[in-house]
């Protein structure tokens, strides 16, 4: 391999990391995808044919053995598998995919099998529809014969060594949350976006990461020495000594800067130059992050993504009431008297969809996700509500509901919550009234926010999903990442609408989507009337410092100007200009010794 190659992608988690590459193949939903050079395609098709032939022979041998041991009706299953593995109607589309998309055989098998199985399932003939599951099995056997993943580790916990950099096609949320923080110093992926959950977790864990790097898996091999520049989105493979020394120096500088800002972020609420109180809370996924919330001086937790309790656990069972209670109780107790907003399970979508929903969804992000899934699984939901209610006496707990699309869903949740609370009180538990809030992340909820407000105690704007659903841009799809614009006029209008309605109803509203952690967007959000924010713990000190340096009246003027513009480009130009002016003004203030600097 050549030395000194550099690759670039979307920077999603800042910082510099130096380490050894470990190719990571998720076993969850898809096969690893690798792009091939044109010259390697014919060899890949040959490898695929040999794998299919070996798999077919294995099925025939299995059929013979099963016929003797269990009888011919059982053997028929494996004979049918062997027939599939020799059927050109199944094999030819896979070969075409390898050739047309220049991809590895494992990926082509997984993708072609999935679309074949989906078509079979939709056929009116029930017998054929049921064979779709058999075909999936054939796909798995075939991938095994292709030696998918080689010797790559299967579980995150099995990763060995230190200073590792994960290199993946895409990191699923459940892989990301299991990253061993003592061994992994960074991650890179071919797919993904800034607000994919893996990227959010990288920021929470303080692990530098770059995603959407074209041809990453074709260019990096296991054991390569890598440098990640998580601010610029650049990766160096096998760097020279000089480059390495340069980045080691930058690593030192960034660590010093972080220490300075952290020392100023003491957990006290900050005020803008004109005296408006601003609350900066933390988003967390795991109870182990409570230490970070305190360390980085956050004003409590604005979003605890509780689904990661399930996603980080082994096995497919939901954590029982006792396990959940212990986690919620510890979190609220250790952070008291700071508020802790715990969001009920937001599963489905890209988070564990197939296993939990129990069916393949063509478009899971628009499917059974969040509160909709909770209604389909009332026992799972009620168990969580009980665990939350029991934890409430230990601190300042608030319950937040994800993916709300209208007031009827909040009413239904409140009724369930009250039933569980009454039952617990009858069992002599002392349960206080717990504030209930709705995430505003589905456009219908933002549009009808005035109708929702009488039924909630607070709101949390989930701008990651609000942008995704309003602009019809998949937040994790790198091919449309340029269109994922927090500063789109439609988003600014929706935020303004929600902030204004909440102000009139005198109910708190926070922003807990990723845009809150970007100073330029933070500025416009303050201008639109937002006073409560929540973000990855490590961003808290920077944004607290920034909040001290702005005036809310100035921010309101900027927001008004932004609302009058019609394209994201115009808004971006305005905000960049204003941010530049602010930096100049802050510099002048600090030189004259006045105000924060």
Q: Select from Mg ion, ligand PEP, none the partner in contact with residue 512, using the beta carbon and a kind-dependent cut-off of 5 to 8 Å.
A: ligand PEP
To the nearest whole angstrom, how small is the minimum distance from the Cβ of residue 546 to ligand PEP? 20
Compare residues 199 and 272 and give the one whose CB is closer to ligand PEP: 199
- Whole-number Å distance between alpha carbons of 460 and 475: 19
How does strand 184-189 pair with strand 270-271?
Answer: unpaired
Q: Of residues 44, 441, 532, 578, which one binds Mg ion by CB under 5 A?
A: 441
- Whole-number Å distance between alpha carbons of 346 and 431: 24
Respond yes or no: is residue 512 known to be catalytic: yes
To the nearest whole angstrom, how small is the minimum distance from the Cβ of residue 568 to ligand PEP? 18
The H or E element containing residue 534 is strand 532-535
Residue of this chain nearest to Mg ion (CB atom) = 465
Nearest to 348 by CA among 320, 312, 325, 376: 376
Query: Residue 428, CB half-sphere, CA atoms under 13 Å: how many?
Result: 0
- Catalytic hit among 145, 374, 487, 512: 512
To the nearest whole angstrom, how small is the minimum distance from the Cβ of residue 464 to Mg ion? 5
Q: Chain centroid to CA 467: how far? A: 14
Compare residues 210 and 341 and give the one whose CB is closer to ligand PEP: 341
- Whole-number Å distance between alpha carbons of 72 and 529: 72
- Whole-number Å distance between alpha carbons of 110 and 140: 8
Compare residues 106 and 465 and give the one whose CB is closer to Mg ion: 465
Compare residues 196 and 272 and give the one whose CB is closer to ligand PEP: 196
To the nearest whole angstrom, how small is the minimum distance from the Cβ of residue 297 to Mg ion? 25
Q: Select from Mg ion, ligand PEP, none the partner in contact with residue 463, using the beta carbon and a kind-dependent cut-off of 5 to 8 Å.
A: ligand PEP
Respond yes or no: is residue 580 known to be catalytic: no
| Overall size of the chain counted in residues | 597
Contacts of 171 (CB under 8 A, 6+ apart): 24, 26, 187, 189, 192, 198
- Whole-number Å distance between alpha carbons of 476 and 536: 18
- Whole-number Å distance between alpha carbons of 408 and 335: 32
To the nearest whole angstrom, how small is the minimum distance from the Cβ of residue 354 to ligand PEP? 18
Task: List contacts with ligand PEP (CB under 6 A).
Answer: 303, 305, 346, 441, 462-465, 512-513
CB contact at 8 A, 392 and 434: yes
Please choose, out of 112-120, 172-180, 221-229, 437-445, the segment that lies near Mg ion by the rule CB under 5 A.
437-445
Q: Of residues 60, 148, 307, 465, which one binds Mg ion by CB under 5 A?
A: 465
- Catalytic hit among 81, 197, 487, 488: 197
Q: Select from Mg ion, ligand PEP, none the partner in contact with residue 297, using the beta carbon and a kind-dependent cut-off of 5 to 8 Å.
A: none
CB contact at 8 A, 168 and 188: yes
To the nearest whole angstrom, how small is the minimum distance from the Cβ of residue 310 to ligand PEP? 14
CB contact at 8 A, 472 and 491: no
Q: Chain centroid to CA 98: how far? A: 30
Compare residues 63 and 436 and give the one whose CB is closer to Mg ion: 436
Q: Select from Mg ion, ligand PEP, none the partner in contact with residue 175, using the beta carbon and a kind-dependent cut-off of 5 to 8 Å.
A: none
Compare residues 95 and 299 and give the one whose CB is closer to ligand PEP: 299
462 sits near Mg ion (criterion: CB under 5 A): yes
Contact flags string 121-150 toward Mg ion, x per CB under 5 A: ------------------------------
To the nearest whole angstrom, how small is the minimum distance from the Cβ of residue 511 to ligand PEP? 8
- Whole-number Å distance between alpha carbons of 400 and 390: 16
Residue of this chain nearest to ligand PEP (CB atom) = 462
- Whole-number Å distance between alpha carbons of 111 and 433: 49
| Structure token digits, residue 424 | 């617990």
- Whole-number Å distance between alpha carbons of 511 and 466: 11
Compare residues 272 and 534 and give the one whose CB is closer to ligand PEP: 534
Contact flags string 289-328 toward Mg ion, x per CB under 5 A: ----------------------------------------
Please choose, out of 34-42, 89-97, 311-319, 462-470, the segment that lies near Mg ion by the rule CB under 5 A.
462-470
8-state DSSP, 25: -
| Structure token digits, residue 263 | 């020392």
To the nearest whole angstrom, how small is the minimum distance from the Cβ of residue 518 to ligand PEP? 13
Q: Chain centroid to CA 326: how far? A: 24
Tell me, by CB under 5 A, how many residues bind Mg ion: 3
Query: Residue 511, CB half-sphere, CA atoms under 13 Å: how many?
Result: 30
To the nearest whole angstrom, how small is the minimum distance from the Cβ of residue 195 to Mg ion? 9
Tell me which residue has tokens 């494992």: 106
Binding site for Mg ion (CB under 5 A): 441, 462, 465
- Active-site residues, by number, are 197, 512
């Amino acid at each position: 391999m050549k030395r000194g190659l550099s690759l670039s992608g979307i920077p999603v988690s800042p910082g510099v990391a130096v380490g050894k590459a470990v190719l990571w193949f998720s076993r969850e939903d898809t096969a690893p995808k690798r792009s091939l050079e044109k010259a390697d395609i014919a060899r890949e098709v040959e490898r695929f044919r040999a794998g299919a032939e070996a798999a077919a022979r294995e099925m025939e041998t299995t059929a013979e053995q099963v016929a003797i041991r269990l009888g011919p009706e059982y053997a028929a299953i494996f004979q049918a598998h062997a027939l599939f593995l020799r059927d050109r109607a199944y094999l030819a589309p896979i070969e075409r995919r390898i050739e047309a998309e220049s991809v590895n055989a494992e990926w082509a098998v997984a993708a072609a099998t999935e679309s074949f199985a989906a078509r079979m399932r939709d056929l009116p003939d029930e017998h054929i529809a049921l064979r779709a599951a058999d075909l999936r099995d054939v796909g798995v056997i075939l991938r095994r014969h292709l030696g998918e993943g080689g010797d790559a580790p299967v579980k995150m916990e099995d990763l060995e060594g230190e200073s590792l950099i994960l290199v993946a096609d895409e990191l699923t949320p459940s892989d990301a949350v299991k990253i061993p923080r003592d061994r992994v110093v960074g991650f890179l992926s071919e797919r993904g976006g800034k607000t994919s959950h893996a990227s959010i977790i990288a920021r929470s864990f303080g692990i530098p990461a770059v995603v959407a790097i074209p041809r990453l898996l074709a260019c990096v091999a296991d054991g390569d020495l890598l440098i990640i520049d998580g601010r610029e989105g650049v990766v160096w493979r096998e760097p020279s000594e000089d480059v390495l020394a340069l980045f080691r120096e930058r690593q030192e500088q960034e660590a010093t800067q972080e220490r300075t800002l952290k020392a100023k972020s003491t957990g006290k609420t900050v005020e803008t130059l004109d005296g408006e109180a601003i609350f900066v809370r933390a988003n967390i996924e795991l109870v182990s992050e409570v230490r970070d919330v305190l360390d980085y001086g956050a004003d409590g937790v604005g979003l605890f993504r509780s689904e990661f309790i399930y996603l980080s656990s082994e096995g497919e069972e939901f954590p029982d009431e006792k396990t959940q209670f212990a986690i919620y109780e510890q979190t609220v107790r250790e952070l008291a008297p700071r508020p802790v907003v715990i969001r009920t399970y937001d599963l489905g979508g890209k988070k564990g969809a197939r296993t939990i929903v129990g069916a393949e969804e063509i478009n899971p992000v628009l499917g059974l996700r969040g509160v909709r899934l909770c209604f389909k699984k009332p026992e799972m939901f009620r168990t969580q509500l009980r665990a939350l209610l029991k934890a409430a006496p230990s601190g300042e707990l608030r319950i937040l509901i994800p993916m709300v699309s209208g007031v009827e869903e909040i009413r239904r949740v409140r009724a369930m919550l009250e039933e569980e609370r009454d039952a617990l009180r009858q069992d002599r538990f002392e349960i206080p009234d717990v504030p209930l809030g709705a995430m505003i992340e589905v456009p219908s909820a933002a549009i009808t926010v005035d109708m929702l407000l009488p039924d909630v105690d607070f709101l949390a704007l989930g701008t990651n999903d609000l942008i995704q659903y309003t602009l019809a841009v998949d937040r994790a799809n790198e091919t449309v990442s340029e269109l994922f614009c927090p500063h789109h006029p439609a988003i600014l209008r929706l935020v303004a609408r929600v902030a204004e309605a909440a102000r009139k109803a005198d109910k708190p509203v926070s922003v807990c989507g990723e845009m809150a952690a970007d100073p330029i967007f933070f500025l416009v959000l303050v201008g639109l009337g937002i006073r409560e924010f929540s973000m990855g713990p490590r961003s808290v000190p920077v944004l607290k410092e920034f909040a001290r340096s702005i005036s809310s009246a100035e921010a309101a003027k900027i927001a008004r100007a932004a609302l009058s513009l019609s394209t994201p480009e115009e808004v971006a130009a305005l905000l960049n200009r204003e941010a530049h002016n602010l930096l100049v003004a802050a510099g002048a203030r600090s030189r004259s010794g006045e105000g924060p600097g």
